[in-house]
Amino acid sequence: MSAAAKLPRWAELVLLPLVNLTVALLLSGLIVLLLGESPWTAFKLMLSGSLGSQEGIGYTLYYATNFVFTGLAVAVAFHAGLFNIGAEGQAYVGGLGTGLVALWLGNAPALVVLPLAILAGALFGAAWAFLPAWLQARRGSHIVITTIMFNFIAAALMTYLLVNVLIKPGQQSPETREFGANAFMPAVHELLAKIGVTFAGTPFNLAFGLALIAAALVWVFIWHTRWGFALRVSGENATAAVYAGIVPSKIIVGAMLLSGALAGCLGLNELLGAQHRILIDFTGGAGFVGIAVSLMGRNHPVGIVVAAILFGALYQGGSQLAFDLPKINRDMVVVIQGLVILLCGAMENVFRAPLTKVFVIFRRESAAK
Amino acid sequence: MADRIDPAVPALELRGIEKRFDAVRANKAIALRVARGSVHGLIGENGAGKSTLMNIVYGFHRPDAGEIHVQGRRAEIHAPHDAIAAGIGMVHQHFMLVENFTVLENVVLGVESGALLAGGFAHARGELEKLARDYALEVPLDAVVSELPVGLQQRVEILKALYRRAEILILDEPTAVLTPQEADALFAMLRRLRDEGKSVILVTHKLREIMAITDRVTVMRQGAVVGEFETARTSPRELAEKMVGRAVLLRVEKAPARPTETLLAVRDLEVRDRLGVARVKGVSFELRAGEIVGIAGVSGNGQSELLETLAGIRAPTRGAITMGGRDLVAERLGPRARRTLGLAHVPEDRLRMGVVASFSAEDNAILGYHDRPIYNRGVLSNGASIRAECEKKMAEHDVRPPLPALRITAFSGGNQQKLVLAREIDCDPRVLLIGQPTRGVDIGAIEFIHKRLVALRDAGKALLIVSVELEEILGLADRILVMNGGEIVGEVSANEATEEKIGLMMAGVKGEGRA
């Protein structure tokens, strides 16, 4: 008994997400229309705001960097059969590690402070993922529940630290002093200026390159090493993993440490590249967007980079929209993002059956000719 | 209920059924007539299209072309409820029962007739008692299904179909989970149904059953009907040749075993499941080089647990397993360590344990051996070598199609099993544990696998084979251990073994020599 007909690979990877995205945008357009604005104008504004100028592109890629890190974090856990909802908390605590190194060694040479800051971010993020992983591996506590809880704990911990310990003395808002300049992740427009190219000043920084390197490394690890093989076996079929001598509890802990480490790298972009200090809620929900990015990108690094850029464009275009159209505010932008997540993530299979049918009919006709 | 019509009209007639899955023509212009009041056998290798055809009749698949006629009338079957309405019932190989419901609840499920259950239950109880009388199908209606033996669970499935007024009953490999005695009881029940005018379609790959119970038999091969016979006028050999398309060896040819030193010794092994129930109770035996030991038993009598414990997947609560002077239990060696000691394992349930369904053949061919230097180059895995090794295994074991990058589930059961076997014997193990060597494997591949196993024995390996196919145990094993209720209830050497003798032990009657 074989399953129903399947979509060709290209349709699965490109057409289906595109259909989902289009429907999400159409629905968003409908809401914009209900609010009394022209959907077409809104769409054009979003597009030009995100990709129509150097500034827009810079911001889009800056947002995308965060999503690549968190998307990869979710994907690595997913390949091991784990649903890591805790990228938000891991990114938050990871950022603490990055920030502490930057505060401490901010005036040391960049070649010393930046690698250490990366390492600290990854270590702190991994550490925050360790306990949920251990609880899942040893005690069977469900990782979804524990990682959600750890998001709250991370938020409480960070608030405490920022308000009571790390706050810059004599200041009202809960944030640290600025890092030393050597701990800044070089901005792309500054680097381009050095070779005589002018690019609009944006927070778009070298962390984007690190994110791409991370994506490449994740690809190599998952599909081209024996450890990635064991991780995938464990995620796809835990019984077969035990049979093959793979120890699932080790895979759970290992995959979550890696996942947490990837999420923990968010601070490289957000703190070292943009804020230059640690502040409350600097993650801004990127950990949750990472879930959608990973789903939409089919848990594949290439798909994740593409989806992250799309979401980056949505963020940047959305801010532009809220700025230019008075009837649309910031919340409306969240609604549009929500629709994209809903259609591309949670409801990604809704259009699969109709699309498959179209293909079957099309194939039959071309076979008849 | 069907009104009385001309008895010459077949109960079920299929005309020109066509079904294509992508490039595969699973059913090619199938014509089939099942007479009323008959048991009709449908036999063919795995992948011959039997299941597809029956799934079309039962409405799981829609045919690309062709007609289905029930009791002389054209039936439009788009979904199982259409089939049920047309009077077709199906008993699946894996029962479709809610385990923690009672028999009555299971039967009524889906046809409750009304928002409140009480009325439906009362009605159903009366109806079922009548059915039980008419067809000798007694089942305790208020028993919880999970507490019933498999034979009775199967009876519940049959009752479910009859309660839905089935005139045509399809049984898909119904004896896979039964002892020979239980199978005989099932056949008696089917004869009764036939005599009452019902039509039974028996889908199976076991020639013995076809010969024992059917009136007519249709043979399928590669999606097409290749022959139809009156059972009384054909022979197992003729049917087997039709199924495979060439002459086949039904018996395993082998010389007497010449066992030498003991390679694996099991002493007083006890295994408990997660609920603390003893599944294997004080089992002891030895496995010697150059012999095949078969473990016979109705599925669920501790064979699976025993096999998994030997392989290192389960931990025993008591006892010792010694191999090469080392106690695998005391040293707490896992599956990986046991493999390096030369203990290979072909698991019983291939798709659940032996392979990863979403992976390619080449990835499955390294499962459990992925750490070997040959498959790696430093930290990276060596894709070229993985592919080359898989191609080699495929060539040596006649795995078709020989495409390492193809998803494992695109291969037939027999080819999957050949690849798993190839993987497990690649590192030259001394002891092989083999669960259900030919489950879901077609006759052609069975022959190949059996020959390979005998060749391994002759090369001085020790083989332990667990199989629910008694014929297979009888054909392969040099020594047979029979398990019942977690204990070894008897040991028989191959030349004294008969189906009856072992069947009785399987049912719990203790044999000589052990007890």
ipTM of the complex: 0.85
Burial degree of A247 (CB within 10 A; 0-12, 13-18, 19+): middle
Strand boundaries in A209-294, DSSP class E: none
Torsions phi, psi for B218 (to 5 deg): -110, 130
Entry field: residues in chain A:
369
Question: In whole angstroms, how far apart are CA A107 and each of A166, A177, A183?
Answer: 18, 13, 7
Please name the residues in contact with A323: beta carbons below 8 A apart, sequence gap of 6 or more.
none
Q: pTM to 2 decimals? A: 0.80
- Judged by DSSP in three states, B147 sits in helix
- Give the pairing type, strands B65-70 and B12-21: antiparallel
The fraction of chain A above a pLDDT of 70, given in percent, is 97
From residue A161, how far is each of A121, A153, A270, B216, B369 by CA, in Å? 17, 12, 18, 82, 48
| pLDDT averaged over every residue in chain A | 91
Question: Are A243 and B359 inside 8 Å of each other by CB?
Answer: no
Which contiguous run of DSSP H or E holds residue B230?
strand B224-230
What per-residue confidence (pLDDT) applies to A37? 86
pLDDT of residue A334: 81
Residue A246 C-alpha, separation from nearest chain B C-alpha, in angstroms: 8
Using 50, 70 and 90 to split pLDDT, how confident is the model at A4?
very low
Q: Is the pLDDT of residue B428 over 60?
A: yes
Question: In the predicted model, is pLDDT for residue B70 greater than 90?
Answer: yes
Q: Tell me: pLDDT of B403 over 60.
A: yes
- Coil, strand or helix at B226: strand
User: How confident is the model over A12-31, as pLDDT tens digits?
Assistant: 778 888 888 889 889 989 98
Question: A269 CB contacts (<8 Å, ≥6 apart)?
Answer: A62, A65, A66, A69, A185, A205, A207, A208, A211
Residue B466 predicted with pLDDT over 90: yes
* Token digits of residue B246: 């060439």
Q: What is the pLDDT of residue A223?
A: 96
Q: Could you report the per-residue pLDDT of A162-211, keeping only the tens digit for each?
A: 999 988 888 888 999 999 999 999 999 999 999 999 898 899 999 999 99
Q: Hey, how many other C-beta atoms are within 10 angstroms of the C-beta on A166? A: 20
Looking at CA atoms only, how far is residue A232 from chain B in angstroms?
Answer: 9
Domains and CATH numbers, chain B: 12-244 (3.40.50.300), 262-353+430-506 (3.40.50.300)
Q: For B121-149, give one letter per residue: b (16+ CB within 10 A) or e.
A: beebeebbeebbeebebebebeeebeebe
Q: Which residues of B touch A236 (CB under 8 A)?
A: 356-359
* The pLDDT of residue A259 is above 90: yes
Nearest to A358 by CA among A32, A57, A3, A19: A19
Are A330 and A322 within 8 A, CB to CB? Answer: yes
Residue B380: partners with Cβ closer than 8 Å, 6 or more residues away: A220, A224, A225
Give the A:B interface size as CB pairs under 8 Å: 75
Average pLDDT, chain B: 88
pLDDT band at A2 (very low <50, low <70, confident <90, very high): very low
Residues B162 and B199: their CA atoms lie apart, in Å, by: 12
* For range A264-278, the mean pLDDT: 95
B67 in Cβ contact with B15 (< 8 Å):
yes
Nearest neighbour of B22 by CB, restricted to A5, A246, A247: A5
Contact check, Cβ <8 Å, B380/A243: no
Q: Is pLDDT larger for residue A334 or for residue A109?
A: A109
- A263 by Cβ neighbours in 10 Å (0-12 / 13-18 / 19+) ranks as buried
Tell me which of A85 and B131 has the higher pLDDT.
Answer: A85
**pLDDT given at position A3:** 40
What percentage of chain A has pLDDT greater than the value 90?
66
Classify residue B405 by burial, with Cβ atoms within 10 Å: 0-12, 13-18, 19+.
exposed
| List of chain A residues whose C-beta atoms are within 8 Å of the C-beta of residue B354 | 240, 243
How high is the pLDDT of residue B138? Answer: 82
Whether A236 and B363 lie within 8 Å, measured CB to CB: no
- Helices A286-296 and A54-79 pack at an angle, to 10 degrees, of 80
- Rounded to a whole number of angstroms, the distance between the first and last alpha carbons of chain B is 53
What pLDDT shows up at residue A255?
A: 98
Partner residue facing B367 (CB), from A225, A240, A247:
A240
pLDDT above 50: residue B2: no
Question: How far, in Å, CA of B323 to CA of B328, rounded?
Answer: 7
Q: Which residues of A touch B412 (CB under 8 A)?
A: none
Whether B370 and A240 lie within 8 Å, measured CB to CB: no
> CA-CA distance, B450 to B463, in Å (whole number)?
12
**Angle between the N-to-C axes of helices A330-341 and A301-324, in degrees from 0 to 180, rounded to the nearest 10:** 150
Question: CA-CA distance, B144 to B139, in Å (whole number)?
Answer: 11
Are the beta carbons of A242 and B336 separated by less than 8 Å? Answer: no
Per mean pLDDT, which range of B123-137, B228-242, B371-385, B500-514 is the poorest? B500-514
> pLDDT at position B425, please?
92
Question: How do residues B267-306 score in pLDDT, each as one tens digit?
Answer: 999 999 888 888 999 999 999 999 999 999 877 789 999 9
User: Which of the pair, B261 or A21, is modelled with greater confidence?
Assistant: B261
Burial classification of residue A132, based on how many CB atoms lie within 10 Å of its CB (0-12 exposed, 13-18 middle, 19 or more buried): buried
- Sheet bearing B168-172, strands edge to edge: B88-91, B168-172, B199-204, B39-44, B216-221, B224-230
DSSP one-letter code for B255: P
Residue of A nearest to B411 (CA): A2
Count of C-beta atoms within a 10 Å radius of residue B188: 11
* Residue B322: pLDDT over 90: yes
Of B52, B356, B359, the CB nearest to A1: B52
Helix/strand/coil for B478: coil
R_g (Cα) of chain B, nearest Å: 24
pLDDT for residue A54: 93
Q: Which of B2-6, B302-306, B331-335 has the lowest mean pLDDT?
A: B2-6
- At residue A264, the pLDDT reads 97
Position B495 pLDDT exceeds 90 = no
**pLDDT value for B6:** 66
pLDDT band with cut points at 50, 70 and 90 for residue B57? very high
In terms of DSSP bridges, do strands B487-493 and B479-484 run parallel, antiparallel, or are they unpaired? antiparallel
pLDDT, position A335: 84
Burial B370-404 (b: 16+ CB within 10 A, else e): bbbeebbeeeebbeebbbebbbebbeebebeeebb
pLDDT at res. B250: 64
Chain centroid to Cα A302, Å, comes to: 13
- Asked if B370 and A244 come within 8 Å (Cβ–Cβ), the reply is yes
Query: In angstroms, rounded to a whole number, what is the distance separating the alpha carbons of residues B504 and A214?
Result: 63
Looking at beta carbons, which residues of chain A come within 8 Å of B367? 233, 240, 243-244
B502 φ/ψ angles, rounded to the nearest 5 degrees: -70, -40
Half-sphere exposure of B282 (CA within 13 A, CB side): 3
CA distance B285 to B491: 10
Interface-testing mutation among B381, B387, B416, B433, with chain A (most A C-beta atoms within 10 A) = B381
Do the Cβ atoms of A229 and B60 come within 8 Å? Answer: no
Least confident of B41-55, B365-379, B477-491: B41-55
Answer yes or no: are the C-beta atoms of B366 and B394 closer than 8 Å.
no
At position B137, the amino acid (one-letter code) is: L
Contact B468, B259 (CB under 8 A): no
Cβ neighbourhood burial of A148 (10 Å; 0-12, 13-18, 19+): middle
- Which has more confidence, B419 or B250? B419
pLDDT average, residue stretch A230-234: 97
**Alpha-helical runs (H) found in A106-186:** 110-134, 143-160
B38 vs A11, B33, B165, B190, CA distance in Å? 48, 11, 17, 10
Which residues of A lie inside 8 Å of B (Cβ-Cβ)?
1-2, 5-6, 220, 224-226, 229-230, 232-233, 236-237, 239-240, 242-247
Quote the distance between the C-alpha of residue B148 and its chain's center: 20
Does residue B513 register a pLDDT over 50?
no
Question: What pLDDT is recorded for position B351?
Answer: 86
Distance to chain B for A87, nearest Cα, Å: 27
Residue A306 predicted with pLDDT over 50: yes
